[in-house]
Homo-oligomer: A and B are copies of this chain.
Amino acid sequence: MEEQEEPIQNLWQEVRDLTLGTTTQINHLSSPPTPLHFFREYISPNKPCLISNAINHWPATTLWHSTRYLLNTLSSSTVSLHVTPNGHADALTPHPNSPSTPTLCFASAEVQHIPFQDAFTRVLNSGLSSNCVGYLQQQNDCLTTEYGALSKDCDSDLAWASEAFGCLPEAVNLWIGNEISETSFHKDHYENVYAVVCGEKHFLLLPPTDVHRMYIRDYPAANYRYSQDTGEFSLELEEPVRNVPWCSVNPYPSPELKEKEMAKFPLYFNGPRPFEVTVRAGEILYLPSMWFHHVKQSPDSRGLTVAVNYWYDMRFDIKYAYFNFLQSLPHSMLCSPASFGKLGGNSEDESRKGNSAASANDNILDDSDDAAEK
């Protein structure tokens, strides 16, 4: 007898069979598409693609490889440096006040407003041994504000994208970091056009249809505080408690945690593999709105990854309404204990427990745009 899949598993498979493809690769365009082609083939079907030869004309693609150029150009700029002990900002980490039965909180970086030269040195010196990892970024249109002196080195918008979306970018952001910084799985309510200038970015991508595989749960917000005196971080829970809905899945668990994580998040680890994209210097990723993405980076020879991303307003249309409907359905309605157990490979009793625990929070809307890194 053929195995009966649940409707939700059929959905994950069908969106891949119909439009996204059944491998872990995404489409790769050798040049920027026309606006209509971009809209019809990628924006409308909410489908990512990689685009080459779209930013060859940017002075940034040569100038920004020079550290001297960056230091000179931004010599009088004050910028926002995000510092964490481990490169994981806006990420789940053990709760500071619960040492006996560790639970997780949503930890945000400390943001320091300091001269670019100091900040840049801190990023270059960031390493696991340094106990302080810096990431230059600020998602408030920072390329045209904090880094205004660099903005002439790239296009203020991408003409083919702006014409397709029918608007100018809502924000253009600069990102300067190194291989220690990692961005945990999350989604944005923006269309994202992401250009890598130096180094490489490695994305894992899951479509919005797969929302239940992310195990979005509420976590209390906490903030890192760095002490200049001790050179150590503390992590402070926000008072009053503010909960942030966030994806629970770490796609790269350490070997000793792997089995436990796979048992906790079977829909992720046993479902279709995420799409994997490496965006190299000079390439652009179209990252559609509402897609879950996890980002790691590889540095250039200096130890830096530099990128510029354009946020365009998304359309809140029938796709968004379908997504909200899907997300509002609890795991318990979509995944029978039997199939849950089958997926997870754990015993039915365990999976029942997991399933029932999952039901408590899973109709939370992920509206954490303001709170969390986009």
Contact = CB atoms under 8 A, between A and B. Distances in A.
A264 to B, nearest CB: 25
B46 A318 contact: yes
B209 A321 contact: yes
Interface in A4-26: 7-8, 10-11, 14-15, 18-19
A18 B316 contact: yes
A320 B46 CA distance: 12
B18 A321 contact: yes
Interface in A150-174: 163-164, 166
A319 interface: yes
A15 B321 contact: yes
Given A39-B36, A164-B36, A321-B15, A10 B328 contact: yes
Nearest to A17: B321
A175 to B, nearest CB: 28
A207 B166 CA distance: 25
A322 B166 contact: no
A45 interface: yes
Interface in A30-48: 35-37, 39-40, 43-47
B328 A7 contact: yes
A360 interface: no
A208 to B, nearest CB: 8
A35 B164 CA distance: 11
A10 B325 contact: yes
A3 interface: no
Instruction: Count this chain's copies in the assembly.
Output: 2
Contacts of A257: none
- What is the size category of the interface that chain A forms with chain B? 35 or more
Contacts of A40: 39, 164, 166, 315
A317 interface: yes
A324 interface: yes
A43 B39 CA distance: 11
A21 to B, nearest CB: 12
A333 interface: yes
A297 to B, nearest CB: 28
A329 interface: yes
Contacts of A326: 322, 325
B7 A317 contact: no
Contact of A317 (B19, B323, B324, B328): B19
A322 B209 contact: yes
A8 B43 contact: no
Given A40-B39, A44-B39, A319-B318, A325 B19 contact: no
A38 to B, nearest CB: 10
A15 B318 contact: yes
B318 A45 contact: yes
Given A7-B328, A11-B325, A14-B324, A36 B163 contact: yes
Given A36-B36, A39-B44, 4 more contacts: A15-B321, A18-B316, A19-B321, A44-B317
Q: Which 8 A-B pairs have the closest CB atoms?
A: A45-B317, A44-B44, A322-B322, A11-B325, A15-B321, A7-B328, A14-B321, A19-B317
6 contacts: A10-B324, A36-B36, A39-B39, A40-B315, A44-B315, A209-B318
